[in-house]
Amino acid sequence: MKKQKEVGIEDIITNETAWADLILSKTALILATAIILTAVYSLSGTYSDLAKKDELEAIAVGLMSNINSAGSARPGADDTIRTYYFDINSGKLADHENLNVSVSCEYVVCTLEDRERNISAVRPLCYSTLPFTPGKVRSILTERFAASGNISQPVNSVFPYADVTEFLAMKGTEELFLNMSKEVHIQKTSVFVTDGSKVNELEYILVYQ
């Protein structure tokens, strides 16, 4: 029977075949390569997401700036209905079936459902906005206050008109989803309120299709 070799601390120190060294350094090399490849891959993935987000932001900003410029237009000369067409030819995403553009009273939201993840771009609006047609505004005001808010039929409300503004703001939080192949109408309108002695004007911007 072969005599078992004794392994002492002396042997480990003086052993110069360095197999542990080799295995450790090669493992470290493989790990490092794997990590670098993952990092490069995720970086390029992030880049394509960024490109999509840029395009979504361009769509959101285009609509937002049109709504804002409708708001800053002075009444009189510019009191007509503005029409905005989405630029569907420039980008890759415009005709995407999972692209949703919506307007509520505070924000323009542009969302793309992309492989179970949502990429979105949100822009706040500068002016008080309602996602309704002019007829809808008058009808919901008539339904609630029995007055349409026209100059001839002002809504009875006292300062700070919280009942009117909060009612409209609450109604306006429902998002209006826009069809990008159709034009969007943007119009300025006024809701007149009266406290019995004088009539005041509350300005809103209407966005509808």
How many C-beta neighbours within 10 Å does residue 9 have? 7
Would you tell me how many other CB atoms lie within 10 Å of the CB of residue 121? Answer: 21
For residue 36, the minimal CB distance to another protein (Å) is 6
Closest CB 32 distance from another protein, rounded Å: 5
For another protein, the closer CB: 36 or 88: 36
Smallest separation (angstroms) from another protein to the CB of 128: 5
CB of 125 to another protein, least distance (A): 5
Question: Is 88:94 a contact under the CB 8 Å cutoff?
Answer: yes
Complex with another protein: residue 74 or 92, whichever CB lies closer: 74
CB of 95 to another protein, least distance (A): 26
CB 42 within 8 A of CB 50: no
Q: Which is nearer to another protein, 88 or 162 (CB)?
A: 162
CB 189 within 8 A of CB 157: no
Q: Please, which residue, 21 or 116, has the CB nearer to another protein?
A: 21
- Residues at the site binding another protein, with contacts judged by CB under 8 A: 18, 21, 25-26, 28-29, 32-33, 35-36, 39-40, 43, 50, 61, 68-69, 71-72, 74-75, 105-107, 124-129, 159-161, 165, 169, 200-203
Closer of 24 and 88 to another protein (Cβ): 24
Distance CA 188, CA 190 (A): 7
Smallest gap, in angstroms, from Cβ of residue 97 to another protein?
A: 29
Q: What tokens does 159 get?
A: 């300062």
User: H or E segment at 111?
Assistant: strand 107-114
Residue 157's SS3 state is coil
68 vs 111 by CB, closer to another protein: 68
The span from the CA of 163 to the CA of 25, in Å, is 73
Amino acid at 66: N
